[in-house]
């Protein structure tokens, strides 16, 4: 087993709500890691079943004194609030977030710690993950260290399970936006990147498995959570303006057109309304470009991020 000094270097924060079996699977995958010492904070987000008791019993049965697991009860609903409550308890130099229905493969933490040692200049270390979808297909979700802001805006490359971050940076940027219900990790990624961190990617090996769930907080369709995506993009726009980065606003507009396209593909009239709102006040070319992006997504065509870059890269 790989070990460091007596002081843990990284903490894993896991929010959980009504997932007793899944969270135990997640904890078992952490227990199987070959790196110690290691800290874990599990934040129960108001579970109404036996989730808290299941985690409590798992901790009681733990016979590894180099794996520290603390259980908290969130005093307010919402995954982002639970994550932030966990972050406030972190004392290690690095922190990573993980969801209660996902697993890490053996060696994942050792890989991160090696990355920390190999990239002492880095503020964020990232990796690719694989998502196992409900239809039995799978998808590789990439982390991009190059052109990180644009890649995050289109690919959410700083989604919860794809990176570890220096605790100091996470706390300095203000942490999680606790009033954001959907795409909370998207907004956090914007906040982190606006502070111009140094990013490094840990190769292309897959060491994290994500599992789509029917009861996921993000839902199975865009229309199920209508308004939440817009709220996240509104907050992202506010942050961009606060940091005086107006050149990024065209990419947020493109992301709005993409959301509008998803609504339209689901026969939701909000798609056209959102597109019209996004186009309001824009130049003739921008209106045309945003309409093209909306139509591309509405017809379920691939290559949307590539199309956005082609249409908008050389515009103001």
Q: Can you give the pLDDT at residue 102?
A: 95
Sorted by sequence, the CB contacts under 8 Å of residue 141 that are 6+ apart come out as: 128, 129, 130, 131, 155, 156, 157, 159, 162, 210
State yes or no: pLDDT of 16 exceeds 80.
yes
For the chain, give the mean pLDDT: 93
Q: Which pLDDT score is estimated for 1?
A: 58
Answer whether residue 3 shows pLDDT above 90: no
Confidence grade of residue 314 (pLDDT, cut at 50, 70, 90):
confident
**pLDDT (mean) for 81-89:** 94
For residue range 113-159, what is the model confidence (pLDDT) as tens digits? 999 999 999 999 999 999 998 888 999 999 999 999 999 999 999 99
- Mean pLDDT over residues 306-310, rounded? 95
Residue 316 is predicted with a pLDDT of 75
Distance CA 247, CA 244 (A): 9
pLDDT at position 75, please? Answer: 81
Closest CA to 124 of 148, 91, 92: 148
Whether residue 192 contacts residue 158, with contact meaning beta carbons closer than 8 Å, is answered with: yes
| For the chain, percent of residues with pLDDT exceeding 70 | 96
- Residues 258-295 have pLDDT tens digits of 999 999 999 999 999 999 999 999 999 999 999 999 99
Mean pLDDT of all residues in 205-214: 89
Long-range contacts of 229-238 (CB under 8 A, 24+ apart): 229/182, 229/183, 229/259, 230/256, 230/259, 230/274, 231/180, 231/181, 231/182, 232/180, 232/182, 232/183, 232/184, 232/186, 232/187, 233/183, 233/259, 235/177, 235/180, 235/187, 236/153, 236/186, 236/187, 236/190
Least-confidence region, from 91-105, 126-140, 210-224, 282-296 = 210-224
What pLDDT is stored for residue 2 in this prediction?
Answer: 62
Output the pLDDT for position 134.
Answer: 86
Residue pLDDT, tens place only, 19-39 = 999 999 999 999 999 999 999
Q: What is the pTM of this model?
A: 0.93
Give residue 5's pLDDT. 56
Residue 125: phi and psi, rounded to 5, are -115, 130
Statement: residue 84 has pLDDT above 60: yes
* Ranges assigned E (strand) in 81-145: 94-97, 103-104, 124-126, 129-132, 138-141
Question: CB-based contacts of 304: which residues, under 8 Å, 6+ apart?
Answer: 154, 258, 261, 293, 296, 297
Q: Determine the pLDDT at residue 4.
A: 55
- Mean pLDDT over 190-198 rounds to 97
How confident is the model at residue 213, as a pLDDT? 77
Length of the chain equals 316
Per-residue confidence band for 215, with pLDDT thresholds at 50, 70 and 90 = low
Q: Name the most confidently modeled range: 73-77, 78-82, 291-295.
A: 291-295
- pLDDT per position as a tens digit, 229-250: 999 999 999 999 999 999 999 9
Instruction: Please give the pLDDT value at position 65.
Output: 86
């Amino acid at each position: 087993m790989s070990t460091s000094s007596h002081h843990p270097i990284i903490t894993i924060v896991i929010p959980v709500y009504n997932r007793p079996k899944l969270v135990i699977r997640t904890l078992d995958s952490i227990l199987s890691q070959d790196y110690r010492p290691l800290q874990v904070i599990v934040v129960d987000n108001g579970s109404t079943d036996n989730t808290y008791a299941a985690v409590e019993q798992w901790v009681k049965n733990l016979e590894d004194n180099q794996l520290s697991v603390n259980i908290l009860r969130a005093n307010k609903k919402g995954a982002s609030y639970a994550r932030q409550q966990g972050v406030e308890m972190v004392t290690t130099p690095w922190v990573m977030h993980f969801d209660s229905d996902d697993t890490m493969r053996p060696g994942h933490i050792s890989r991160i710690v090696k990355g920390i040692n190999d990239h002492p200049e880095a503020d964020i270390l990232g990796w690719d993950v694989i998502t196992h979808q409900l239809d039995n297909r799978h998808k590789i979700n990439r982390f991009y260290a190059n052109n990180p802001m644009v890649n995050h805006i289109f690919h959410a490359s700083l989604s919860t399970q794809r990176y570890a971050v220096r605790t100091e940076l996470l706390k300095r940027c203000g942490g999680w936006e606790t009033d954001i219900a959907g795409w909370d990790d998207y907004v956090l990624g914007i906040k982190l990147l606006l502070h111009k961190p140094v990013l490094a990617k840990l190769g292309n090996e897959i060491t994290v498995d994500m599992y789509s769930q029917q009861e996921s907080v993000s839902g199975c369709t865009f229309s199920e959570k209508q308004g939440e995506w817009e709220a996240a993009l509104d907050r992202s726009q506010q942050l961009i303006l606060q940091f005086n980065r107006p050149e990024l606003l065209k990419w947020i507009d493109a992301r709005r057109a993409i959301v509008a396209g998803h609504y339209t593909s689901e026969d939701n009239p909000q798609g056209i309304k959102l597109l019209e709102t996004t186009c309001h006040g824009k130049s003739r070319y921008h209106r045309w470009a945003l309409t093209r992006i909306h139509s591309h997504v509405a017809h379920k065509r691939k290559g949307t991020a590539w199309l956005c870059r082609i249409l908008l890269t050389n515009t103001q």
